[in-house]
Amino acid sequence: MSVRIIVAKDYDEMSRKAANIIASQIIMKPDSVLGLATGSTPIGTYKELVKKYENKELDFSEITTVNLDEYKGLSREHDQSYYYFMHDNLFDHVNLRKDASFLPDGTKADSEKECAEYEAKVASLGYADLQLLGIGRNGHIGFNEPGDVFVKDTHVVDLTESTIDANKRFFASADDVPKQALSMGIGTIMHAKTVLLLASGKDKAEAIKNSFFGPVTPQCQGSILQFHSNVIVVCDEDAYSLVK
């Protein structure tokens, strides 16, 4: 087990440190497969990466990306779809090839088939060289919600109340938040050669404590990362505040 925890002063410092780690991955392996994440946490990191690209410090032309998850039922044009988010926050601002980014498609009628095809796609790429993760207040990674098991492959997930509640701020009301998503499984994530997990704010403190300083249990899906051989956590002081 190898978990390195870097505690940043605040969100901006967390974002700069995370961007530097991703930048060094791109510099050391220009044809890396980057596993990417959505949510509010990585937005600052993506801004820093765009800045580095604009300053000609980074070249994305050989990079391939895969994303953790997508809401079921949202079209790619929907401004809360993760496809839209990734284009808006990163893809449209750097020199990634148009055919080099992959996300599960939440609009396919047969979601199970889409999940199997997505898993096969990620596997064919050799899985992520570096997988960026946020973490849910309930310890979820991707949309792997607390439960009795760790699901291995990309699968359809029923979102928990906690997740719907956390994400309703982006929708007109809680009723508009999709109730299901397609998510990489814990096995898909654990195949990544490096995992970079970000957390900011007091409402993530419990998840950080339980994931890295508690028992490994599917009730806190992030805790499986204690078994990964190369995890870097970059969190701010608030997210670290429950660790003694």
Q: State which residue has the least CB distance to ligand PGA.
A: 39
Whole-angstrom Cα distance, residue 221 to residue 5? 18
Give every CB contact of residue 29 below 8 A, 6+ residues apart in sequence. Answer: 129
140 labelled catalytic: yes
Strand 231-236 and strand 155-158: the pairing is unpaired
Give the count of beta carbons closer than 10 Å to the beta carbon of residue 215: 9
Q: CB of 88: closest distance to ligand PGA in angstroms? A: 15
- Nearer to ligand PGA (CB atom), residue 162 or residue 226: 162
Is the CB of residue 32 less than 8 Å from the CB of residue 60? no
From 48, 140, 167, 210, the catalytic residue: 140
Contact residues for ligand PGA, defined by CB under 6 A: 39-41, 134-136, 140
CB 31 to ligand PGA: min, Å:
27
- The span from the CA of 94 to the CA of 60, in Å, is 7
Selected catalytic residue, list 67, 114, 129, 138: 138
**Smallest separation, CB 140 to ligand PGA (Å):** 6
Q: Which CB sits closer to ligand PGA, 61 or 167?
A: 167
Does the active-site annotation cover 138? yes
Catalytic residue numbers read 69, 138, 140, 145
